[in-house]
Chain A
Amino acid sequence: MKKSVFLGALTVAGVTAGVAAAGTLDDVKARGTLNCGVTTGLIGFAAPDANGVWDGFDVGVCRAVAAAVLGDANAVEFVPTTGKTRFTALASGEIDMLARNTTWTFSRDVDLKFEFVGINYYDGQGFMVPKALGVSSAKELDGATVCIQTGTTTELNLADFFRKNNISYEPVPIETNAEGQQLYLAGACDTYTTDASGLAATRAAFENPADHVVLPEIISKEPLGPLVRHGDNEWADVVRWTLNALIAAEELGVTSANVADMAATAGDNPEINRLLGTEGNLGEQLGLSADWATKAIMVGGNYGELFEGNIGENTPIGLARGLNAQWTDGGLLYTPPFR
């Protein structure tokens, strides 16, 4: 039984070896599904619900790309990856793109030969303290005991931060987030530090979240974004501009509610017209249909809607936009023009 499967796999391997040289965009179109790498589960960013349907902020990016390329937001094969398997899955061609809250760093971009197509979440390391401690800034944490995951960049960032501000701390090493949560609640440390989005999610799971505050200081840069393989620029362009389309849509006021009306006829704003395909041939240049961006926005709405629906202030995670606001609102989201 197993051997026949094996032989079948070998035959398939021989046949597909020739096909793989074609571009990823053509592969995806021929296959009819997008293979998108996501986490095995991160609250708010990617997790299957009780019916097994994937949902979350990173998942929204996958679905938008699938809608832009294939016209169907459900034509996605979600491939769960762990922190250890994500890069090989992408490099080996098992997945077409990786949307797995992955930090854009020099070595990942250059040495591992990946192409980060943009940033969909600006994260950074923060601190959480019990309200009863009466601390309002991380600089007041002199002499505090800090729960910190060992062997991560957060450990190094923490040391840098305290040295720079000339204050001392007592590290309490922990292994996993769950352990950190338990130790922090048990009072083994005064403050718990990890990425701000992780802190918010951890805090949301507490019995009394209101008793704890996340301090305003962010002590490191963790730009998270989707990535593709080096060397296939057409495909990288498709993913990059789908993400940009979602961000631009928010800036231009295009939402999932009004996108159908706006795309029906050309309006007054030429940039909206170009984005939605009622003017110009941007879709054709990407090798997609003219209404590619319309389809992408229809899935889960623009960037702001995705944010609010999955991790925003009205969800249990309750993240503020902060750095992830549009540049017009004092954030860092700034997409190049659609022209």
Chain B
Amino acid sequence: MSDTHAHSVAFVRTETIPQMAPPSSASGPIAWMRENLFATWANALLTVSALYVIYLLITATLPWILNGIWNTDSLAECREALEGQVGACFSVLTERWNQLLFGFQYPSDQYWRPGLAFVLLFFAAAPVLFFDLPRKLLIMTAIYPFIAYWLIWGGTIWIPIFAALGFVAGYFVFDRFGKSNFAAGFFGGVAAAFAVWILSGYVTPALTPETPFLEAVQSRDMGGFMLNMILGVVCVSLSVPLGIALALGRQSSMPLIKWICVVFIEFVRGVPLITLLFVANVVLAYFLPPGTTFDLILRVIIMITMFASAYIAEVIRGGLAALPKGQYEAADSLGLDYPQAMRLIILPQALKISIPGIVNVAVGLFKDTTLVSVISMFDLVGMIRGPILASTDWNGVYWELFSFAAILFFVVCYGISQYSQWLERRLATDHR
């Protein structure tokens, strides 16, 4: 082209063409739909039928939800207000929300107490769940169980204080003797804690005022979603450390410890949870002397914790087995003793592998807490199936109540699941 002259050519563009948007077939919503929804005939067919199903679902449920009645006192009134049209009777929720959340016996002027305990739970759980936070916040986690117990059960403040003092005493003894001899420190610590608790049993009645600052609430008065949360949070947080101990114990070279752990895990895993709950509720009552009130919630917590810790132990054992043998040998060759090797090398890796499994157990456990309705405890499902559906006002309301329960459980379980995914991403240090 070097020998052509400007005047011998018909047209020469002297400026660049302004940038154009790509054609609609290559980008934008139409292209996206063509690529993702209607790429082939089969895809188009699936898309259309899926849209149709969604349409059917929405037309069936949306009028029911939007037409919902929120302010009547009984099902009969609600049906009158609907005048034969399709609509939900959400008024059962507005009338009985307190029973669904707190059970029907918790004193209604004290609802702020479990509410406050619930809010504090986030502050207590945060330093454990998000390890970027300052470590000093763990003090909050340590004192939270005692505050929460005092808030929810009320009564004299000395019970949680002495309970905490027992742990402190146990810790000091362990700290003092545990360095030279682990067994001496451990059993000494346990003995010291028990000594404090037994002594407190004699002192507490004398210190208890006639009318405690917070009105005492009996365990049998607990109910609703609060009971599910209590059982879920306590049992998950107790069963993870127990499960780790059991998993390590099962791999121990000491035959006694190994066989105790194996028998415990295999026995508890071989029995349905509902059986354990019946044992807690029914069979124990035969062994204890008549008139004994060995706290029912405590019995249930022990049983659910046993059950969950056996499962978590097996999950963690899977994580331990997945570690190459070289990791154990590396720890040994560094001259670390057993606790150091476990704490610094083995467990951080094994637990990381086990996260999905542990979360799976935790979510399942949280939902399993609804089983306590079978042994006449009024958790969320127990409240719905028992008192609310048995009242003359609300007999016959099913969808509204169970949808509400489903939403509450979904929120919690989805939250747990999202946290675990964040944790996995955060801990992803390997190159995959």
Taking a contact as CB atoms closer than 8 A, the residue among A13, A41, A49, A89 that contacts B386 in the complex is A41
> Given A43-B391, A48-B387, do A207 and B79 touch, yes or no (CB 8 Å)?
yes
- Contact residues in B for A5 (Cβ distance below 8 Å): 159, 295, 298
Q: A89–B387 Cα gap in the complex (Å)?
A: 19
Contact residues of B: prevailing secondary structure: helix
- Per-position 1/0 for A80-103, Cβ under 8 A of B: 111011001101111000000000
- Per-position 1/0 for B186-201, Cβ under 8 A of A: 0000000110011011
Q: A138–B327 Cα gap in the complex (Å)?
A: 77
B292: Cβ under 8 A from any A Cβ: yes
Q: A6–B99 Cα gap in the complex (Å)?
A: 29
Q: A27–B386 Cα gap in the complex (Å)?
A: 30
Q: Is the Cβ of A44 less than 8 Å from the Cβ of B392?
A: yes
Q: Is the Cβ of A40 less than 8 Å from the Cβ of B163?
A: no
> Given A50-B99, A81-B376, A84-B278, do A1 and B163 touch, yes or no (CB 8 Å)?
yes
- Contact residues in B for A85 (Cβ distance below 8 Å): 281-282, 375-376
Which stretch, A16-24, A61-69, A121-129, A272-280, touches the partner chain B? A16-24
Contact residues of A: prevailing secondary structure: mixed
B154: Cβ under 8 A from any A Cβ: no
Q: Is the Cβ of A40 less than 8 Å from the Cβ of B386?
A: yes
Q: A11–B204 Cα gap in the complex (Å)?
A: 14
Q: A153–B99 Cα gap in the complex (Å)?
A: 34
- Per-position 1/0 for B276-304, Cβ under 8 A of A: 00100111011011111111001001000
* B100 nearest CB across to chain A (Å): 12
> Given A41-B389, A80-B376, do A9 and B291 touch, yes or no (CB 8 Å)?
no
Q: A7–B200 Cα gap in the complex (Å)?
A: 10
Q: How many residues on B have C-beta within 8 angstroms of the other chain's C-beta atoms?
A: 59
Q: A89–B291 Cα gap in the complex (Å)?
A: 11
A224: Cβ under 8 A from any B Cβ: no
Q: Is the Cβ of B105 less than 8 Å from the Cβ of A82?
A: no
A186: Cβ under 8 A from any B Cβ: no
Q: A27–B290 Cα gap in the complex (Å)?
A: 11
- Contact residues in B for A16 (Cβ distance below 8 Å): 289-292
Give A49's nearest chain B residue, CB to CB.
Answer: B391
Q: Is the Cβ of B298 less than 8 Å from the Cβ of A2?
A: yes
Of A4, A27, A204, chain B has the most CB atoms within 10 Å of the CB of A4
B212: Cβ under 8 A from any A Cβ: no
A315: Cβ under 8 A from any B Cβ: yes
Q: A52–B373 Cα gap in the complex (Å)?
A: 17
> Given A2-B298, A4-B201, do A39 and B281 touch, yes or no (CB 8 Å)?
no
Q: Is the Cβ of B292 less than 8 Å from the Cβ of A82?
A: no
Q: Is the Cβ of A9 less than 8 Å from the Cβ of B99?
A: no
* B202 nearest CB across to chain A (Å): 10
A-B residue pair count with CB separations less than 8 angstroms: 147
- Per-position 1/0 for A191-206, Cβ under 8 A of B: 0000000000100111
B171: Cβ under 8 A from any A Cβ: no
Give A77's nearest chain B residue, CB to CB.
Answer: B220
* A27 nearest CB across to chain B (Å): 7
Of A1, A17, A79, A178, chain B has the most CB atoms within 10 Å of the CB of A1
Q: Is the Cβ of A40 less than 8 Å from the Cβ of B104?
A: no
> Given A6-B298, A19-B291, A20-B289, do A1 and B145 touch, yes or no (CB 8 Å)?
yes
- Per-position 1/0 for A285-318, Cβ under 8 A of B: 0000000000000000000000000000001110
- Contact residues in B for A89 (Cβ distance below 8 Å): 282, 285
A3: Cβ under 8 A from any B Cβ: yes
Q: Is the Cβ of A13 less than 8 Å from the Cβ of B395?
A: no
Q: Is the Cβ of A13 less than 8 Å from the Cβ of B289?
A: yes
- Contact residues in A for B298 (Cβ distance below 8 Å): 2, 5-6
- Which residues of chain B (108-148) have a CB below 8 Å from chain A? 108, 145-146
> Given A7-B197, A48-B104, A85-B282, do A205 and B291 touch, yes or no (CB 8 Å)?
no
Q: Is the Cβ of A4 less than 8 Å from the Cβ of B390?
A: no
- Contact residues in B for A52 (Cβ distance below 8 Å): 99, 104-105, 108
Q: Is the Cβ of B292 less than 8 Å from the Cβ of A13?
A: yes
- Contact residues in B for A110 (Cβ distance below 8 Å): none
Q: A49–B193 Cα gap in the complex (Å)?
A: 44
* A255 nearest CB across to chain B (Å): 23
A73: Cβ under 8 A from any B Cβ: no
Q: Is the Cβ of B387 less than 8 Å from the Cβ of A20?
A: no
Q: Is the Cβ of A12 less than 8 Å from the Cβ of B292?
A: yes
Give B288's nearest chain A residue, CB to CB.
Answer: A13
B34: Cβ under 8 A from any A Cβ: no
A215: Cβ under 8 A from any B Cβ: no
A8: Cβ under 8 A from any B Cβ: yes
B396: Cβ under 8 A from any A Cβ: yes
- Contact residues in A for B278 (Cβ distance below 8 Å): 84
- Contact residues in B for A39 (Cβ distance below 8 Å): 386, 390
Q: A317–B393 Cα gap in the complex (Å)?
A: 11
- Which residues of chain B (153-168) have a CB below 8 Å from chain A? 159-160, 162-164, 166
Q: Is the Cβ of B398 less than 8 Å from the Cβ of A178?
A: yes
Give A46's nearest chain B residue, CB to CB.
Answer: B390
- Per-position 1/0 for A158-192, Cβ under 8 A of B: 00000000000000000000100100000000000
- Which residues of chain A (11-39) have a CB below 8 Å from chain B? 11-14, 16-17, 19-20, 27, 39
Q: Is the Cβ of B389 less than 8 Å from the Cβ of A82?
A: no
Q: Is the Cβ of A27 less than 8 Å from the Cβ of B392?
A: no
A residues near B (Cβ < 8 Å) are 1-9, 11-14, 16-17, 19-20, 27, 39-44, 46-52, 79-82, 84-85, 88-89, 91-94, 178, 181, 201, 204-207, 315-317
19 contacts between A and B (CB under 8 A): A1-B159, A1-B160, A1-B164, A4-B159, A4-B200, A7-B197, A16-B291, A39-B386, A40-B390, A50-B96, A52-B105, A79-B376, A80-B376, A85-B375, A91-B286, A178-B389, A178-B398, A315-B392, A316-B76
B residues near A (Cβ < 8 Å) are 75-76, 79, 95-96, 99, 104-105, 108, 145-146, 149, 159-160, 162-164, 166, 193-194, 197-198, 200-201, 220, 278, 281-283, 285-286, 288-295, 298, 301, 373-376, 378, 382, 385-393, 395-396, 398
